[in-house]
Amino acid sequence: MNQYSVRGGNPISGTIRVSGNKNAALPCIAAALLSVDPIILRNIPDIEDVHVMLDVFCALGGQARQEGPGVWRLCASSITSSIIPAEYAEKIRASILFAGPLLARTGSAVLPPPGGDVIGRRRLDTHFLALTELGAELSVNEYYQFSAAHLRGEDIFLDEASVTATENAIMAAVLAKGRTILSNAASEPHCQDLCRMLIEMGAKIQGTGSNILTIDGVDKLGGCDFEIGADYMEVGSLLGLAAATRGEIIITGIKPRDIRPAKISFGKLGVVWEHSGTTLCLAKNQSLKVNHDLGGMIPKIDDAPWPGFPPDLTSIITVLATQVEGTVLIHEKMFESRMYFVDMLIGMGARIVLCDPHRAVVSGPAKLSGSVLTSPDVRAGMAMVIAALCAEGKSLIRNVYQIERGYENIVPRLSALGADIEKC
């Protein structure tokens, strides 16, 4: 099994271009099933999760051809299967995103239980609620089997603002008969990208970027040429890396509005940056000191659905907090197993009290030492890389497949910034 060998102690420095948004690329690949016409997708990151989604797309009868760096031509002129292969589903949770498009195109979808990150219970009930409200019938045995003679528009209130359930509902509703009103919808930038792509294909969607979407079904969708937005999770990860190693970084290709929620939370740890257009600059000599709340109270950094602090950056900012003077409470409210990775940080010398599955008190700065680490999920894996680059000595990071599911060519790109990291 591949692993990373990392030697820490050196600040990173340089310029890097952000990759395309993984979480937008995956639903947009699934959405290509909704048309018989060719779809061109640009700025697609070269990562494992994208490769698996493309494998599923082809297994269902679609055709995928790379036409240049980050550019894919997809065509689903015919769908030969409505069964998602189990060997792909177990690798990636986003495989469930094919349910909505398959129902809309074929009236049937068969899904094995999806895999993905081990960060706690990730319920599927909201997907089922949305799709059954639109007229699908569900039977559950070894697989989840959906069928629908036809989908119809409906007024739907989601029981939670689930990103993938929102995306599934949108993709099913765009070809349903009549009007769908989707309330308590997720509104993350990747959901917005999906809506923009579908609108370019001919869908009628109002309310993009809000938590209430109005979708008027159309008879068919056409092709489009669509560019995926920047991955703001990668931007946040790189900012955390630069600040924690006391380095500097220039990141190009960003979308400034997508970074605003992170800027508030990073600011609580004394980290600031400037941006001009699509270029962001984090300078050296950050204060790296906790800014107390009014009255000298210990501040809290907690995640929330958009536009709150992104849950996927919780692991990153926890590592950063170990290198900051002062004490902060990290509250991960959404996944009950995500914070367990802090045991590895504690083993490296971090001063962290894990209060319960959702809350950790971090006091810094702590002197970290190299260790043998294992990546439990995409974001915690990147957090391990950051911790190793802060630490004195050498670290080995195992299960790096998890990291490469979400970060494009991460070893050469970090090496170009001066990181002492290699894959072995």
Where exactly does CATH 3.65.10.10 map onto the chain?
4-19+230-423, 22-227
pLDDT band at 333 (very low <50, low <70, confident <90, very high): confident
> How would residue 388 be classed by pLDDT, with cut points 50, 70 and 90?
very high
Query: Taking residues 110-114, what's their average pLDDT?
Result: 84
DSSP code for 248: E
Q: What are the residues whose beta carbons fall under 8 Å from the beta carbon of 361, sequence distance 6 or more?
A: 298, 327, 328, 329, 330, 352, 353, 355
CA distance 102 to 234: 30
For domain 4-19+230-423, the CATH superfamily is Enolpyruvate transferase domain (3.65.10.10)
Interval 120-136 mean pLDDT? 81
pLDDT (tens digit per residue) in 340-367 = 899 999 999 999 999 998 999 999 999 9
CA 351/CA 365 separation, integer angstroms: 8
- CA separation for the pair 318, 116 (Å, rounded): 22
Residue 290 has which token pair?
A: 């906790």
Mean pLDDT of 260-272: 96
User: Which one is catalytic: 117, 231, 303, 377?
Assistant: 117
Per residue in 45-88, pLDDT (tens digit) is: 999 999 999 999 999 999 999 999 999 999 999 999 999 998 88
Question: Which CATH superfamily groups domain 22-227?
Answer: Enolpyruvate transferase domain (3.65.10.10)
Q: Which two tokens stand for residue 231?
A: 């991955």
Which residues face 411 on adjacent strands? Answer: none
Lowest mean per-residue pLDDT among 12-26, 104-118, 353-367: 104-118
Give the confidence band of 246 by pLDDT, cuts at 50, 70, 90: very high
Nearest to 271 by CA among 282, 279, 280: 282
Q: What is the 3-state secondary structure (H, E, C) of 362-395?
A: EEECCCCECCEEECCCHHHHHHHHHHHHHCECEE
Closest CA to 407 of 266, 243, 233: 233
pLDDT at 213 over 60: yes
**pTM score, whole prediction:** 0.93
Nearest of 83, 79, 221 to residue 142 by alpha carbon: 83
Q: What would the mean pLDDT of 193-210 be, rounded to a whole number?
A: 98
How would you class 160 by CB atoms within 10 Å of its CB: exposed for 0-12, middle for 13-18, buried for 19 or more? middle
Q: In sequence order, what are the beta bridge partners of 184?
A: none
pLDDT the model gives residue 91 = 83
Annotation marks residue 55 as catalytic: no
DSSP structure class, residue 47: S
